[in-house]
Structure 1
Amino acid sequence: MAGARTVAVEEQGRDHGLVRGIGIFGMAAAITNEVIGSGVYRLPASMAAAAGAAAPLAYVACLIAMGAIVLCFAEAGSRVPTSGGPYGYVEAAFGPLAGFVAGVLVWLSALLACGGVAAAVADILGAAVPALSDALPRGLFIVALLGGMAWVNIRGADTAARFIGVTTLIKLVPLGLFLIVGGIALASGHGATTAVTAPPVTTIDRAALLAFFALSGMETPLSASGEVRDPARNVPRALLLAMGGIGLLYIGVQIVADGLLGAGLAASKTPLADAMGTIGAGWRVPLLAGAFLSMLFWIGSDLLGAPRVLFALSRDRLLPAAFGRLHPRWHTPHVAILFHAGLAILLALSGTYEALAILSTLTIAPLYFGACASAWVLRRRDVAVMGEALRLPALPVVALVGMASTIALVAFGRLAEVAALAGVLAGSALIYAIMRRR
């Protein structure tokens, strides 16, 4: 139990001054908001092009893999519910170097995605209002968007969680409408006359990558675990509640889109809106609005979780002390939030959405591997720093499935993508060595 006491002391120092005001539904909403971004509105077409009618099966396979990873996150999160989320789990299990690399992966993945999504939101707005597509108004919109979301998060984690909870409900309404109206239409015989075509076998691996990427993102909101009430109970419950519902939602959306568009699904740039358009032209509008709002509100979850990684690394003296400062009134890591938002603005202004998204998604593989392994190690050491921890049956088997899945994820990547990931890992280790010497 000496190890558990050591981790408890480190966590208390890391989270000192934070207010644990986020409840189970606030955290579940943040996870849902983070995972369900713009991808759900575009992914059905990509999945159809890569896997054809087998796309729902690709989701099921990835749900099994992601399910194992989620279970490991749930147990590890109940044992070390601290700022930085998986950074804390990996650091407690394998030491500061592994923890630092994990923290960098969480933050970098979230930063790249935030910049890409903000750029995409600006592009959608520019397409709808051409006057806003010029460089200056586009740049001002990006600054206002990320600056506004940063302000909401600086005003308090509980305020941000309530905001995210409301916005998550808003962004789920169009998807619920799609499932209900589209499902009724299919049941009434209003389906496509041509079925989704079968793709080449060589593209199935890309379909698996797409589905896995679509289900990722839980690690960013979990970085705010240091501000969750009764975290040993609420962190795993929020995670399981959110990810279970998300998996069912994605499968349902793919099935309805397949049924309504058929062979036309793979070529659609706005698949959900086009699918609803087969029922009536007026049904396109709420789905197009949903795609815009989904990306807009996603940024709020990113700015809730990702800056807490910088905060945690600073509190552990692995980054400059400024990132560990708390706002004197709202007790939030305002410097870290502003820094993260500032870098995201620069990335968004560059407009390189595709490159940012690819690197962002691939960086999660070693992070998920480390989180699965840390759950196993923390169980063996019986580390539980805030109340009784979750104890999953057959955890070693679950962890092995999760780790094997992440290895397969990297194997599916292209050479340039894997090389970029290797550079991130090597660069993180170098930064750690420099900071430790200083």
Structure 2
Amino acid sequence: MQRPAFPLSGQPAAATNPELVRVLGRWSLTALVVNAVIGSGVFGLPDDLVRFVGAAAPWAYVLAAAGIAIFMAVFAELGSQFKQAGGPYLFAREACGQFWGIQMGWFIWLVRLTAAAANTNLFVTYLGEFWPGATAPIPRIVIMASLLGALTFTNIRGIDRGARLANCLTAAKLLPLILLIVMGLWWSGPSWSQPSVTATPTGWLNAVLVLLFAFGGFEAALMPLAEGKNPRRDIPFALFTGLLVIAACYFLTQIVAMRTVPNLAGSERPLADAARTLLGPIGAAFIALGAMISTSGYLSAQIIGVPRQTYAMAERGDFPPLFASVHPRFRTPYISILIWCLLVLALAIYGNFMWNAVISAGARLVTYALACVSLIRLRQQRPHADAFRLPAGSVIALTGLALCGTLLAQMNLTHAAVISGIVAIASLNWFMVRRSPAD
């Protein structure tokens, strides 16, 4: 008889779940990092980077990778101190208490909601390669609602169905990028020069801010720490090896796009246009299909993981109890899944790809700032912890805090209002549950 995916709300997890098996080695964790990060950003941002910094766009990836390396270093030390599942939410809660754990949980949720909304928009944009009318207002809404509705229906009926769909889509998403890079680097046709754009400090900061969307997600590899063979040794290796692979892929993709697409800054589907130059309409269709697979694969993975994060927080008493509701027949957190779908659809309709990507990047900066504070606090609380320790770790964490503040200052008032609103909602959430016995 198959064991239910979830215990009933209120049942102790230990009574129904055996201990997790530690099977993930360093290369498996590295693959998790690469898979968690490479997604819609590489399909949607090459044109925006040219608008920000012109021909210097490939080097924006190098600058962003250097900034991300600071946060990866912080997460490497944090991850090596824990063997339990939970990731950033666990770090903040253990280091700084329930209030900051709840703030971290809400901002992680915002990161993933807006990232999913950005991916939903990009799916429709690349569908426009096959059906130009897809991007018109009414068809756009219908397509997004149908896509999210199908994923919701599949995942409410069972995690096994959702996981099989996510695995199939994930396996296919990297192939188009690899082929585009190989063909683009060997291409012997004329290289296009991009319009001259003066790369100002503001332009560079805006480029790095949006690239946080493309480089974000590595922290998802820290969620299954309870299934890692040796997290203290393998997490630092996985994070930095993954970063090198990701940065190289992004850098080369940007170069190929700039070589093959005239006026890249004006392209709506930059990688499809690059493939059109290399292989004609068939190439453009192939890359457009790859982008649609990548975005739908991301959404399939998110609808499995994110509702279960809110379910787990509700079970612990850190989130409204409604999110802990389990379907009586399918044994899935169906309320968490439904709320995820509705909020993603609302954000996707309200904002375009870039609006949601910037909100996601800004919310991610808040989570990185909380992680930096958590590192400083844990170093004070556990000065002799048996864990990987960064040289000058507190200085690195303070540098990360300064970088977060600098990049957050680039957001406009609308973006800042969303961030402030989540702080207020999370604070109200904490006020309502602060007497929870789970604390």
Per the normalisation by structure 2, the TM-score is 0.81
Partners of 1:311 and 1:323 within 8 A in 2: yes
Q: 2: CA distance between counterparts of 1:416 and 1:138?
A: 23
Match of 1:155 among 157, 160, 172: 160
Q: How many residues align?
A: 416
Query: How far apart in 2 are the matches of 1:311 and 1:107?
Result: 12
1:128 is displaced (CA, Å) by 3.1
Q: Structure 1 unaligned runs (5+)?
A: 1-12
Alignment-derived partner of residue 296 in structure 2: 296
Q: Secondary structure at the match of 1:266?
A: helix
Distance 1:40 1:323 in 2: 33
C-alpha offsets along residues 201-240 of structure 1, whole Å, 9 cap, x if unaligned?
Answer: 2533322222222211233454454555554445444433
Code of the residue aligned with 1:274 in structure 2: it is: D
Q: Is the 8 A contact 1:311 1:324 kept in 2?
A: yes
Q: Look up the match of 1:241.
A: 241
TM-score where L is the length of structure 1: 0.81
Q: Does 1:364 align with 2:364?
A: yes
Q: CA shift at 1:243, angstroms?
A: 2.8
Query: CA contact under 8 A between 1:35 and 1:214: conserved in structure 2?
Result: yes
The equivalent residue for 1:75 is: 77
CA distance change for structure 1 residues 149 and 117 in 2, over 3 Å: closer, same or farther? farther
Partner of 1:145: 151
Root mean square deviation of aligned Cα: 3.5
Q: CA 1:58/1:150 → structure 2, altered by over 3 Å: closer, same or farther?
A: farther
**Shift in CA distance, 413/168, structure 1 to aligned 2, threshold 3 Å:** same
**Distance in 1 of aligned mates of 2:332 and 2:76:** 25
SS at match of 2:388: coil
Contact 2:194/2:264 (CA < 8 Å) preserved in 1? no
Is 1:405 aligned to 2:407, yes or no? Answer: no
Q: 1:246 to 1:333 in 2, by over 3 A?
A: farther
3-state secondary structure, aligned to 1:279: helix
1:314 aligns with 2:320: no
Structure 2 vs 1, CA of residues 130 and 68 (structure 1 numbering), >3 Å: closer, same or farther? closer
Q: Is the 8 A contact 1:104 1:428 kept in 2?
A: yes
Distance 1:79 1:92 in 2: 11
Pairwise mapping of residues 139-218 of structure 1 onto structure 2 (< 5 A)? 139-148=145-154, 154-155=159-160, 160=163, 167-185=169-187, 188=188, 190-199=189-198, 201=200, 202-218=202-218
The worse-fitting range, judged by mean Cα deviation, of 167-176 and 117-126 is: 117-126
Residue of structure 2 aligned with 1:43, choices 42, 45, 55: 45
CA drift at 1:195:
4.1
Deviations 1:290-334 (A, max 9, x none): 111110111133234323432342243222456457899999866
Q: Which moved more, 1:310-319 or 1:103-112?
A: 310-319
| 8 Å contact from structure 1 (residues 223, 309) kept in 2 | no
Q: Distance in 1 between matches of 2:133 and 2:154?
A: 22
CA distance in 2, matches of 1:51, 1:30: 31
Query: Residues of 2 paired with 1:148 and 1:14: CA distance?
Result: 25
- Structure 1 residue aligned with 2:414: 416
Query: 2:108–2:364: 8 Å Cα contact kept in structure 1?
Result: yes
Unpaired runs of at least 5, structure 2: 1-11
Letter in 1 for 2:297: F
Which of 51, 57, 80 is residue 59 of structure 2 equivalent to?
Answer: 57
Asked if structure 1 preserves the Cα contact closer than 8 Å seen for 2:37 and 2:216, the reply is: yes
